[in-house]
C-alpha cells in the first residue's frame, strides 16, 4: 500500500425528517461540502502498530498489531461481519470491546470502536500505518461529523485493501461500498442510525432518503435542489446523538399511540417538503416555511429541542426573519432558519449579530449540496506539500488554514470524487 494519501467527506444538513428517519419515514438532506472531515494515512514510526490520531477530540491511540490477533483468529465472525453488512456483528463487537476495555465509558470509546471495527473488517493485515483525522465541521453539532468520519475511515480502508483503486472517478459501486461500511461506522458511534447522514456524506448533493423495513435504504437525488436562503446557527450547546436517539426510542416505547402518529406526520411533511424543494417558486415558498415551523414543533414534542435552540426560533420570529427548526439530533447543536422572501441583507446581519453577541452562537451562511467523498491517491499526492499538510492535522488549526490547502474545488489538489 502506497502512503501518504488523503480522503475527505462533507457534513450535511437535514432539512426535514430527523429522528423520524430512524423509524423508516422519508427524510431529505443536503451536503455542506464546504465543511468537511479530512483523513491522511501516513507510515507509522513503528512498523508493527496501527495508530489513530484524532486531535479534534484529543484522542491518540496505538495498537500493536498482535492485539488484534484474537479478533482476527475468529475468521467465522469476520466472514459473517463482511457478509451481513446491515448489522454490526455482535461477536466482532464483543472481541473489540475487550480490546478497548481501558477506554470503556470514555468519550473516545465509540470513535475507537468505529475505527477498529472498520479496520478488522476491511484491511486487517495492514500494519505500520497512522490515520490522522481533522474536521472543519463542529463536532456533535447536528451537522453529521460522526457520519463524515465514518465515511473517511471506510473510504481509506477500502482503498488500502484494494477494494477501491481510485484510478479514475469513484464509481457508483465504489461509493455504494463506502456508504455500506460507513453506515456500520455510524452504528458504532450512535447505535441505531437511519443511514441518511452517511449517505449524504458519501454521495454529496441533496438526497431524498427512506429506510425500508428490511434494513435496506432507498435513495433518490433531488436533482434541482435550490439554494434556499438560510442561516445555520451553531448554539455550541454540546449533546450526543446517541443519547437523543435513545431518549426518543424510550418515548416511542412508553407512548406508542401518541408518538407513532407524530413520526408519521414528520414523514408526510418530508414528502411534501421534498416536492416543494424540487419545484420551489413564488407560489410554494411560503408553504416551505410553514413546514419548517411544523417540523420543529413536532421535534419539540419528541423532547429533542433545547432552550438554547428555542432562543434562535424566538429571535427569528420576533425579528420577522423567517422560519427556524433544529437540524440533526437536536438537544443543542444547530438550527436552520429559512429566510422570508424579501428579507434584506441588513436584517440578516442584525439577526446574526444578535445571535452572536447576545448568546455567543456561531452563524454560517453556506451553500447546500455539492461534492461527497473524495480521495487523493498516493500517485496524485503532492509530496512537496506533505510537511504543510501534516501540520494541519493538529488541534486548534483554524478552518481557514485547512480550507486554503485542502478544500476540494478551491485548491489545486487533485481530488477524485
Ligand atoms: N473529527 C473527529 N475526530 C474524532 N471523532 C469524531 C470526529 N467527528 C466526529 N467524531 C465522533 O462522532 C461523535 C459525534 O457524533 P454525533 O453525536 O452523532 O454528532 P454529529 O454527528 O451531529 O456531529 C464524537 O463524539 C466522536 O465520537
Ligand atoms: C437524529 C438523526 O435523524 C440525525 C442525527 O444527525 P446528527 O448526528 O445530529 O448530525 C439520526 C439518524 O437519522 O441517524
Ligand atoms: Mg452524528
Q: Is residue 320 within 8 Å of residue 341, measured between CB atoms?
A: no
pLDDT value of position 109? 93
pLDDT value of position 350? 98
- Cα of 168 vs centre of ligand 2, distance in Å, is 32
- Cα of 355 vs centre of ligand 1, distance in Å, is 24
C-alpha span between 22 and 14 (Å, rounded): 13
pLDDT band at 102 (very low <50, low <70, confident <90, very high): confident
- Cα of 272 vs centre of ligand 2, distance in Å, is 20
Q: What are phi and psi of 234, to 5 degrees?
A: -100, 115
Q: What are phi and psi of 42, to 5 degrees?
A: -130, 165
Query: Which of 239, 214, 218 lies closest to 141, judged by CA?
Result: 239
pLDDT value of position 1? 66
pLDDT band at 159 (very low <50, low <70, confident <90, very high): very high
Q: What is the pLDDT of residues 15-72, one digit of tens each?
A: 999 999 999 999 999 999 999 999 999 999 999 999 999 999 999 999 999 999 999 9
Cell readout for 95 is: 472481541
Of the residues 46, 102, 197, 367, only one is catalytic, namely: 197
Ligand 1 neighbours, Cβ below 6 Å, are 37, 54, 56-57, 110-111, 133, 135, 139-146, 149, 189-190, 240-241, 328
Q: Which of 189, 232, 248 to mutate to test the pocket of ligand 1 (most atoms within 8 A of CB)?
A: 189
Query: Which of 12, 4, 34 lies closest to 393, judged by CA?
Result: 4
Active site residue 197: yes
C-alpha span between 118 and 11 (Å, rounded): 20
pTM of structure: 0.98
**Average pLDDT rounded to a whole number, residues 6-22:** 98
**Average pLDDT rounded to a whole number, residues 390-415:** 96
- Cα of 328 vs centre of ligand 3, distance in Å, is 8
Cα angle value 266/219/37 (rounded, 5°):
95
**Predicted-assembly ipTM surpassing the 0.85 threshold:** yes
Q: What are phi and psi of 89, to 5 degrees?
A: -80, 120
- CA 383 to each of CA 4, 162, 292, 299, 409: distance values in angstroms, whole numbers, following the listed order: 8, 22, 47, 48, 19
Which atom in ligand 2 lies closest to the alpha carbon of residue 244? 1
**Average pLDDT rounded to a whole number, residues 368-391:** 97
Amino acid at each position: 500500500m502506497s502512503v501518504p494519501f488523503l480522503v475527505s467527506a462533507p457534513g450535511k444538513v437535514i432539512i426535514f425528517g430527523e429522528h423520524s428517519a430512524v423509524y423508516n419515514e422519508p427524510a431529505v438532506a443536503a451536503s455542506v461540502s464546504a465543511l468537511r472531515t479530512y483523513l491522511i494515512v501516513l507510515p507509522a514510526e513503528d512498523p508493527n502498530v496501527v495508530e489513530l490520531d484524532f486531535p479534534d477530540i484529543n484522542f491518540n491511540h496505538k495498537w500493536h498489531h498482535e492485539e488484534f490477533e484474537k479478533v482476527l483468529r475468529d475468521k467465522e465472525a469476520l466472514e459473517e461481519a463482511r457478509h451481513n453488512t446491515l448489522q454490526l456483528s455482535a461477536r466482532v463487537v464483543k472481541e473489540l470491546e475487550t480490546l478497548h476495555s481501558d477506554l470503556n465509558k470514555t468519550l473516545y470509546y465509540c470513535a475507537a470502536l468505529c475505527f477498529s471495527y472498520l479496520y478488522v473488517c476491511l484491511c486487517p493485515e495492514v500494519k505500520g500505518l497512522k490515520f490522522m483525522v481533522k474536521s472543519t465541521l463542529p463536532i456533535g453539532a447536528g451537522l453529521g461529523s460522526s457520519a463524515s468520519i465514518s465515511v473517511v475511515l471506510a473510504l481509506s480502508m477500502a482503498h488500502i485493501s484494494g477494494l477501491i483503486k481510485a484510478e479514475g472517478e469513484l464509481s457508483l459501486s465504489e461509493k455504494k461500498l463506502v456508504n455500506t461500511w460507513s453506515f456500520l461506522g455510524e452504528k458504532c458511534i450512535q447505535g441505531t442510525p437511519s443511514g441518511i447522514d452517511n449517505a449524504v456524506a458519501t454521495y454529496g448533493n441533496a438526497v431524498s432518503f427512506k429506510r425500508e423495513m428490511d434494513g435496506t435504504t432507498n435513495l433518490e437525488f433531488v436533482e434541482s435542489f435550490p439554494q434556499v436562503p438560510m442561516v445555520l446557527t451553531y448554539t455550541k450547546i454540546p449533546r450526543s446523538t446517541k443519547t437523543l436517539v435513545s431518549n426518543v426510542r424510550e418515548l416511542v416505547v412508553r407512548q406508542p399511540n401518541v408518538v407513532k402518529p407524530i413520526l408519521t406526520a414528520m414523514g408526510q411533511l418530508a414528502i411534501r417538503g421534498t416536492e416543494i424543494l424540487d419545484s420551489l417558486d413564488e407560489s410554494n415558498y411560503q408553504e416551505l416555511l410553514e413546514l419548517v415551523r411544523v417540523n420543529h414543533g413536532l421535534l419539540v414534542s419528541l423532547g429533542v429541542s433545547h432552550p438554547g435552540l428555542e432562543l434562535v426560533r424566538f429571535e427569528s420570529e420576533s425579528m420577522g426573519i423567517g422560519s427556524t427548526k433544529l437540524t440533526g439530533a437536536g438537544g443543542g447543536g444547530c438550527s436552520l432558519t429559512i429566510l422570508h422572501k424579501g428579507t434584506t441583507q441588513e436584517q440578516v446581519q442584525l439577526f446574526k449579530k444578535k445571535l452572536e453577541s447576545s448568546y455567543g452562537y456561531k452563524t454560517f451562511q453556506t451553500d447546500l449540496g455539492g461534492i461527497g467523498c473524495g480521495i487523493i491517491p498516493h500517485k496524485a499526492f503532492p509530496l512537496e506539500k506533505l510537511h504543510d499538510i501534516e501540520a494541519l492535522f493538529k488541534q486548534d488549526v483554524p478552518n481557514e488554514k485547512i480550507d486554503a490547502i485542502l478544500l476540494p474545488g478551491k485548491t489545486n489538489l487533485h481530488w477524485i470524487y
